Amino acid sequence: MQNNENFIEIKNLKKWFPVKKKLFGGHRSFVKAVDDMSFSINKGETLGLVGESGCGKTTTGRTIIKLYEPTGGNIIYNGEDISRLTSRHMLPYRRKMQMIFQDPYASLNARMTVGDIIGEAIDIHNLAKGKERLERIQYLLRRVGLNSEHANRYPHEFSGGQRQRVGIARALAVEPEFIVCDEPISALDVSIQAQVVNMLEDLQEDLGLTYLFIAHDLSMVKHISDRIGVMYLGKMVEIAESNELYIHPVHPYTQALLSAIPIPDPDEAAASQRIVLEGDIPSPIDPPPGCRFKNRCRFTKPICSEEEPELKDVGGGHLAACHLL
């Protein structure tokens, strides 16, 4: 099943977290972080996943690589259904799927040297020993633009951007095919963000990687992604090719999200009409029936409170879930 299309297929993925209720009485409540998501990722592409806090994008990323066990649905990796695999059988897949984390300060073990952090990846899968292992570590450090002589230093001696590079080197050490990038640049300075993004793009080209790029910085996501999916409260509300999404956003939430991006250009900023959404982002615990966005939507109709909209094709692979269509 070596297909470019549908390299990774997600079918009706659900991840619910139980909320501790009182010991007696009352029904069980769930935080429905990911609630029936279906989409696919093509080999070699970068799929962006955007949304605000509580939308479930981080949970989606972590569930896809089985950091969390899915509550329901299927994850099909290159034709193999890995949704129900036990941790022992997941081990070979742990080489193929990797993750880069958001916080450069918390994602590295402060007690280990940078060399050991990268080396651990090599050790777990027995990829090299002794001299070869050391050479691999040094190679990886250079690959991400760091000085290979710094392998004996500790994370706290590096800057945020450099730590993030160490995290990338760690992910690369197992020679993965697919990497979930969970907000990898949000915690970095602007000028460093560009460095890291460029490096990720170069690595993708050199190594043929596939990325799931999760972020809330929409400008950066558009820059790096081929296609973008927009999430709201555990559901995918729109998914389209990057340019298409920005030129023709269909879903009211996407429209509001795009208009809210601060534009680094004073004339354009003054000229643009901002759609300001009223209210706050609701909680993903036991969402009400119907469309989840109806409380903040400008265009609600009666049907929005009764039925949940399905993802419909509005032309050329551009999908959106809204009753207005």
Partner 1 sequence: MDNLLEICNLQTSFFTYVGEVQAVRNISIDLRVGEAIGIVGESGSGKSITMMSLMKLLDDNGKIKNGKLLFNGSDLLGVSEKGMQRIRGNEIGMIFQDPMTCLNPVFTIGNQLMEPIIKHKKVSKQEAFKRAIHMLSLVGIPSPEERMKQYPHEFSGGMRQRVMIAMALSCDPKLLIADEPTTALDVTIQAQILELMKDLREKLGTSIILITHDLGVVADVCSRINVMYGGTIVETGTTRDIFYKSKHPYTWGLLRSVPNPKTLVKERLIPIDGTPPDLIKPPLGCPFAPRCDYAMKVCMTKRPLLFEIEGQHKSACWLNHPKAPKVESPLVRRDS
Partner 2 sequence: MSTGVMDKSLELELDDSMFELVPKEQKKLNEMVRPSMSYWQDVWRRLKKNKLAMFGLIVVILMTVIAILGPMFSKYNYFANDFTIANQRPSLEHWFGTDQFGRDIFVRILYGARISLIVGYAAAFISFVIGTLYGSISGYVGGVVDNIMMRIVDILLSIPMMIYVILLMVVIEAGLKSIIIALAITQWLGMARIVRGQIMQLKNQEFVLAAKTLGASRNRILLRHLVPNSMGPIIVTLTLAVPSAIFTEAFLSFIGLGISAPKASWGTLVSEAQQLYMIYPYQLFFPAIAICITILAFNLLGDGLRDALDPKMRR
Binding site for partner 1 (CB under 8 A): 52-53, 159-162, 189-195, 197-198, 201, 216, 218-220, 222-223, 243, 246-247, 256-269, 274, 276-277, 280-281
Q: Report the partner that residue 27 touches, choosing among partner 2, partner 1, none (CB closer than 5 to 8 A by kind).
A: none
Q: How many CA atoms lie within 13 A of 80 on its CB side?
A: 8
Q: Is residue 67 near partner 2 by the rule CB under 8 A? A: yes
Query: What's 156's DSSP letter?
Result: G
Task: Enumerate residues 129-168 that contact partner 2 by CB under 8 A.
Answer: 145-147, 150, 152-154, 156-157, 162, 167
Task: Please select the residue that binds partner 2; options are 13, 49, 65, 172, rule is CB under 8 A.
Answer: 65
Q: Is residue 19 near partner 2 by the rule CB under 8 A? A: no
Instruction: Please tell me the distance from the alpha carbon of residue 70 to that of residue 47, in angstroms, as a whole number.
Output: 20
Q: Report the partner that residue 22 touches, choosing among partner 2, partner 1, none (CB closer than 5 to 8 A by kind).
A: none
Q: Is residue 95 near partner 2 by the rule CB under 8 A? A: yes
Candidates 89-97, 211-219, 222-230, 314-322; binding stretch for partner 2 (CB under 8 A):
89-97
Token pair, residue 156, equals 């706290």
Q: Rounding to the nearest 10 degrees, give the CA dihedral for residues 42, 52, 274, 277.
A: 130
Q: Is residue 109 near partner 2 by the rule CB under 8 A? A: yes
Strand, coil or helix: what is 261? coil
Candidates 8-16, 95-103, 216-224, 247-255; binding stretch for partner 2 (CB under 8 A):
95-103
Task: Please select the residue that binds partner 2; options are 11, 14, 94, 223, rule is CB under 8 A.
Answer: 94
Strand ranges (DSSP E) for the chain? 8-19, 29-41, 46-50, 72-77, 80-81, 97-100, 178-182, 210-215, 227-232, 235-241, 312-313, 319-320
Instruction: Please tell me the distance from the alpha carbon of residue 31 to that of residue 309, in angstroms, as a whole number.
Output: 20
| CB of 176 or CB of 229, closer to partner 1 | 229
- Reported as type and span, the H/E element at residue 243 is helix 242-247
Q: Is residue 124 near partner 2 by the rule CB under 8 A? A: yes
What value, to the nearest 5°, has the Cα angle with vertex 125 and ends 124 and 127?
Answer: 120
What value, to the nearest 5°, has the Cα angle with vertex 16 and ends 307 and 14?
Answer: 65
Task: Please select the residue that binds partner 2; options are 36, 45, 103, 308, rule is CB under 8 A.
Answer: 103
Token pair, residue 205, equals 């080209």
Q: Which CA distances in Å does 255 have to 53, 135, 237, 245?
A: 17, 50, 12, 9
| CB of 99 or CB of 230, closer to partner 2 | 99
Instruction: Please tell me the distance from the alpha carbon of residue 73 to that of residue 37, in angstroms, as a whole number.
Output: 8
Q: Is residue 239 near partner 2 by the rule CB under 8 A? A: no
Query: What's 68's DSSP letter?
Result: S
| CB of 35 or CB of 182, closer to partner 2 | 182
Instruction: Please tell me the distance from the alpha carbon of residue 219 to that of residue 225, in angstroms, as a whole number.
Output: 10
Candidates 60-68, 72-80, 265-273, 308-316; binding stretch for partner 2 (CB under 8 A):
60-68
- Where does this chain bind partner 2 (CB under 8 A)? 62, 65, 67, 90-91, 94-95, 97-99, 101-103, 106-112, 120-121, 124-125, 145-147, 150, 152-154, 156-157, 162, 167, 170, 174
